[in-house]
Structure 1
């Protein structure tokens, strides 16, 4: 298996620092919207949600809804004695803000100092995020949220072990690294397969990117230009997408180290392209971190930019060399042809890899499918027989487990040669943990590939029961991105118009979603505006009947701060909003010529009335909300004091810059 069992401390440091940054982005995103989304005066109030659960017999049951928010009144009772100024605010809302602040603080500490890259810090971060996720309802129904929980759970166990003041790789870290690599495989392989098993015609005809850059939730400025690419090139990218997601995933379990690296690089290139052409918050950055598990330290140290290594702080001082040192042969050291042979071997591997990619193109995606209206050279039955229920995913699972076992014993021999009760107990725990996690994740993996043709190779009732019990904690999930391409008939957008007199209506602008046709596109990632994102889903539905959207309408015409805080530009600022219209438009990008002449990114057509002349006193709206068990409250509440008084983003970015300068100067001083 090549050079498996090598030191992975560098990967651990990169992964742990990266997870701290992702947690930071996630908690910051939540902090600035949580008041309007699930606060006391929010669109889906958390206290109403927990009250409904209690009425249904689920009261403070952590096995079903694992969140500390259950005990918000009791916790805040003690906190308000220390900080009396918080007494006028809702206990649930205040606790949610405090959870975000603690998450931000712990993330910053882990970024600032290696001393905080420990088990307790990452356990706390995972549980805090789980506590918000469990009560976030519709606004936390995304795949990146569950992936952060699964990766965050594994992060707890990959934290380095300290021995005699130095960090070593122990068995549990080795197993966890392989579980992260297995997560990388499941995410990418499933994302490639489900596009085909969903039977979406755009994937089969290789035309998905004709719509994606325009119809994705929050396009960025580069998305516009990629949409203008010629048709054949976008088809080529779709074919490359399948080859990368499926072929690259399989390569990371190749017995040859170079091919594992090629597979990892293919998957990384896919993520960098998505980051370049879309705003997908922290999701792609998280995927990059997980994909790095396919590389060893030797590769990472050679290719990682120095400015990133400088952010790792005292990494070089923390490394402990293996007990069994590797020695080079004197003959090999003095061999003048050794460098030439290495380059020749690398060149041969590259040529073989290129030949494999070209073969995949010509075999499965003939030129007629790229340059004309031809079809791919496989069928749905082929996909199901080979990639879903065939030997391919089972062989990948077995290969992953073999790599895991191989690496585990390699690390045991290198770092833990002593035979003590504690060491043997740790080994037994690592083996048990790895086996259980592989079984749990394999069950969800096979279930998510094709729901119509699901066949799990191991029929174990206990495993199914364990999977159901662990489901609320999301430590094993099924993935599959962009099963069906949206926007085939144009991008649908909901546009809100407000009026004071019911005659003259003015369009309001939200922070990030497309609105006015001259509104420029923005870079948003890794920030995640959950309200704007959710409106993208709602625009594709035929009716406005979701509780959060009805609540937004109700709170907007009642001029509540929670709804107004979600608006970037209110044309009636200083006046009362008494009437509301909602229209649905079909949006499309302008051509390069149209943009040059008008300056507009978008053009829109076919306005459809979704809600007309909604007034402050609207019996049908209130009736609908009451039927959905939503409380009607016309009182006005101030934006929470924690959000008003804490300039969180400015503080965070200042600290990040100071961390970078500190580590950069320290490393420079050491070199001098």
Structure 2
């Protein structure tokens, strides 16, 4: 079996970096999103103060229930948790000794605590994915607490079992992402035209998205077909017994994630997905030498595993890709592609294959456990160490079986029949543990939005109902048609993201939008700092309105009516999104009072008197709410510099 010591350390380092991005990005947005004067005050989402372990874990398991005991209000408590997450993840990033079970347990607890009060601004699949991956990282991280007369090795043979759980999570993520596109019956995904809309309609496009959008339709349709191949059949190679096939699967996933990073700002999500791909590798990939015992393998077997098997599998995969997507080369060097199977064919295939995905997981996990147990018995020389290694392997194998079994509930949701066949007790336990988000279902880009034009809500303010309407520009989302397309990942501007979702529906389905309007009508500084520029710097406007526009990428083709030399976007006014509102509008005030945004007398204001609280307020005063991308990258750059100095000096 290939060694995983170096691989595991690379995985832990990458998880440290992802946590650092997540906490740092969230910290700068706390006052505007969750502060007492923010869009969705977190104090309104916190049900109770905990006076016992039972109260701490019931309902919302969050450490914020304990912060009043430290003399902190909810906003300052969130600052404390976020700063703690930044410090711990930074320490893990720069110090190998810090990457242990204690550090990653704290990181998971801190992020779960933030998620519990994050409301709509943290209800994203990547936040849930980070929590599940973070929980698995606790199982993977070494136990480095020193106990007298008892030494713990920095790595163990059972590490292969816990790393397998990450591989299974990656499989579920990618397989589901491909399946839901076809399950949704979205005509753009079935017509392979989704990418002709995606780059224009995604939340925050990058500059390269504009250029990618200009590619010919045949190329984008072929890219859509290849996306299906990377997301649906290739994940089965994650469990291949042939090393070269696993490495091929790694680079296929890496290619997809890099393309997404180049063309879209999806915060830390793609970096987290790449991190989940690391268990597909081994120490040999990272330059570690194999032991002499493993070099002398039979040449015929090496020929089959290194050449014959990969060629056979990849050849079959290529043949099926050409057949199922009717790929044909034309005389003009363009390529035609279309889906050659029906929705009924796909439904039957999915119903057939889902039990086999579960069977594959059982066989693969069983193989890993068996090989680990054999290695414990064969390679450990002392009887006491044999017993200790086997005991650890059995314990972690039991945990892996439990995690795998729980994960079958969200995984099987892709097919109703398979889902209904699971034991009732598995559903019960999954429901009991659901608040901890240790396993969940995924599936990105289920339906392609904005097919007839990218919807955007434009907010404007004025002191006169008839004239002088000035537009509020956001930091990153499209508004000004000539503003450059930003690169903002791994920072996630959560208000900009929710504005994208708001445009897909109505303000009635996004009640936080009314809170935002009220904060703008009162020139609330914390909220305005989440935006690009306040068009009313002295006094707030008397009136605010919101209008729905459709945005379109301009074209590089001079013959196209959307051609422009200076603008990235063209836009068309569609309809009213929300009628003109003033600060004293009775219906809005009644709603805000009902939601306790204003006039809340039920909760007692906690005056911060503790030294810790004053210290957190001082840090917030120094940091403020800086531009998120620069803040995140400055901390990450500092960590890289420390890593470099460690290499050069030590």
CA positional deviation for 1:350: 5.8
- Superposed CA deviations along residues 501-537 of structure 1, whole A, max 9, x for unmatched, are 4431111111111001111100011001111001101
Are the structure 2 counterparts of residues 599 and 654 from structure 1 closer, same or farther at C-alpha, using a change threshold of 3 Å? closer
Instruction: Work out whether 1:586 is the aligned partner of 2:525.
Output: no
Per the alignment, in what secondary structure is the counterpart of residue 461 of structure 2?
strand
Per the alignment, in what secondary structure is the counterpart of residue 572 of structure 1?
coil
Instruction: Work out whether 1:612 is the aligned partner of 2:579.
Output: yes
Of 59, 76, 88, 1:64 maps to 59
CA positional deviation for 1:547: 2.3
**Residue 382 (structure 1) aligns with:** 345
Are the structure 2 counterparts of residues 665 and 567 from structure 1 closer, same or farther at C-alpha, using a change threshold of 3 Å? closer
**Residue 401 (structure 1) aligns with:** 365
Instruction: Work out whether 1:151 is the aligned partner of 2:147.
Output: no
- Superposed CA deviations along residues 487-507 of structure 1, whole A, max 9, x for unmatched, are 111100011111234431111
Per the alignment, in what secondary structure is the counterpart of residue 515 of structure 1?
coil
Instruction: Work out whether 1:644 is the aligned partner of 2:621.
Output: yes
CA positional deviation for 1:173: 2.2
Contact 1:11 1:300 survives alignment (8 Å):
yes
**Residue 435 (structure 1) aligns with:** 401
Of 589, 609, 618, 1:622 maps to 589
**Residue 537 (structure 2) aligns with:** 573
Instruction: Work out whether 1:50 is the aligned partner of 2:46.
Output: yes
CA positional deviation for 1:282: 0.3
Contact 1:169 1:411 survives alignment (8 Å):
no
Structure 2, unmatched stretches of 5+, are 608-615
Alignment partners' CA distance in 2, 1:194 and 1:617? 45
CA positional deviation for 1:544: 4.4
Which shifted more, 413-422 or 271-280? Answer: 413-422
Instruction: Work out whether 1:500 is the aligned partner of 2:463.
Output: yes
Alignment partners' CA distance in 1, 2:161 and 2:311? 33
**Residue 33 (structure 2) aligns with:** 37
Are the structure 2 counterparts of residues 633 and 587 from structure 1 closer, same or farther at C-alpha, using a change threshold of 3 Å? farther
Are the structure 2 counterparts of residues 551 and 668 from structure 1 closer, same or farther at C-alpha, using a change threshold of 3 Å? closer
CA positional deviation for 1:161: 5.2
Of 513, 516, 525, 1:561 maps to 525
Of 219, 230, 235, 1:233 maps to 219
Contact 1:248 1:264 survives alignment (8 Å):
no
Are the structure 2 counterparts of residues 229 and 652 from structure 1 closer, same or farther at C-alpha, using a change threshold of 3 Å? closer
Alignment partners' CA distance in 2, 1:565 and 1:499? 20
Instruction: Work out whether 1:75 is the aligned partner of 2:70.
Output: yes
Contact 1:67 1:130 survives alignment (8 Å):
yes
**Residue 311 (structure 1) aligns with:** none
Of 286, 291, 304, 2:277 maps to 291
CA positional deviation for 1:342: 7.3
Contact 1:9 1:160 survives alignment (8 Å):
no
Contact 2:222 2:335 survives alignment (8 Å):
no
Alignment partners' CA distance in 1, 2:257 and 2:460? 37
Of 177, 185, 192, 1:191 maps to 177
Per the alignment, in what secondary structure is the counterpart of residue 610 of structure 1?
strand
Contact 2:176 2:443 survives alignment (8 Å):
yes
Contact 2:373 2:393 survives alignment (8 Å):
no
TM, length-normalised to structure 1:
0.84
Instruction: Work out whether 1:358 is the aligned partner of 2:322.
Output: no
Contact 2:227 2:256 survives alignment (8 Å):
yes
TM, length-normalised to structure 2:
0.87
**Residue 117 (structure 2) aligns with:** 135
Contact 1:195 1:203 survives alignment (8 Å):
yes
Are the structure 2 counterparts of residues 418 and 550 from structure 1 closer, same or farther at C-alpha, using a change threshold of 3 Å? farther
CA positional deviation for 1:348: 5.0
- Superposed CA deviations along residues 283-318 of structure 1, whole A, max 9, x for unmatched, are 01000010111111112338xxxxxxxxxxxxx9xx
Which shifted more, 493-502 or 503-512? Answer: 493-502
Structure 1, unmatched stretches of 5+, are 78-90, 303-315, 333-337
**Residue 18 (structure 1) aligns with:** 14
Are the structure 2 counterparts of residues 49 and 652 from structure 1 closer, same or farther at C-alpha, using a change threshold of 3 Å? closer
CA positional deviation for 1:264: 2.1
Contact 1:508 1:569 survives alignment (8 Å):
yes
**Residue 306 (structure 1) aligns with:** none
**Residue 611 (structure 2) aligns with:** none
Alignment partners' CA distance in 2, 1:152 and 1:589? 38
Alignment partners' CA distance in 1, 2:6 and 2:474? 42
